[in-house]
Amino acid sequence: MNIFVIGFMGSGKSSLGKRLASHMDRPFIDSDKAIVNELGMSIQEIFEQKGEDYFRTYETEWLKRVQDKDAVIALGGGTPCSDENIEIIKSKGLVVYLIVSTPALATRLAASKSIRPLIEDFRDDPEKLKEFINQKVAEREVYYNQANIKFDGESVDSEKLKRLAELISMSAQH
Ligand code: S3P
């Protein structure tokens, strides 16, 4: 069974996903990277040249093609955020929502080297960034909260990672 890792931008889905995959001896897939590879364009280029709607449609099509590879799959922050997408995700695996507080997300996003089109205009303005995060998280929580497991994504040391893997194994048995 696949394990999907969802959560806001900067919540650590890719880095935790990679660690979890290696801990559980599973393959790791990053949906943003997979889409970037398929299209031969960066996320920024896709948004600029094709538009956000094109990217969102592509995310849905990508999700429909996901096979059961017993993989850990980190999704883009917006990927689960439609009724159609969250239903596809839940039908294809166990879902883990990484919860991180707004101040921690803002700090991580301001320091991150990745270019994220949705925040580029104000990533250097801490107040605007926090306001945006609060608003978007409030909009998106209805989807994120449908996860099977909600996990505190701040300071995940190896003990905490082990606990997450145990929670996943337990949930998978039900
Ligand atoms: C987005 C999150 C990004 C990427 C795109 C849009 C979003 O992924 O898919 O920039 O809408 O939250 P990360 O969550 O990996 O940054």
The overall average pLDDT reported for the chain is: 97
SS (H, E, C) the chain: CEEEEECCCCCCHHHHHHHHHHHCCCCEEEHHHHHHHHHCCCHHHHHHHHCHHHHHHHHHHHHHHCCCCCCEEECCCCCCCCHHHHHHHHHCEEEEEEECCHHHHHHHHHHCCCCCCCCCCCCCCHHHHHHHHHHHHHHHHHHHCCCCEEEECCCCCHHHHHHHHHHHHHHHCC
Mutate to test the pocket of ligand 1, among 4, 6, 31, 32 (most ligand atoms within 8 A of CB): 32
- Domains in the chain: boundaries: 2-156
Whether residue 60 is predicted with pLDDT greater than 80 in this model: the reply is: yes
pLDDT tens digits for 16-30? 999 999 999 999 999
Whether residue 172 is predicted with pLDDT greater than 90 in this model: the reply is: no
Distance 135 CA to ligand 1 centre (A): 15
CATH number among 3.90.1150.10, 3.40.50.300, 3.20.20.70, 3.40.50.620, domain 2-156: 3.40.50.300
Tell me what the mean pLDDT of segment 126-134 comes to.
Answer: 97
Whether residue 9 is predicted with pLDDT greater than 80 in this model: the reply is: yes
pLDDT tens digits for 140-168? 999 999 999 999 999 999 999 999 999 99
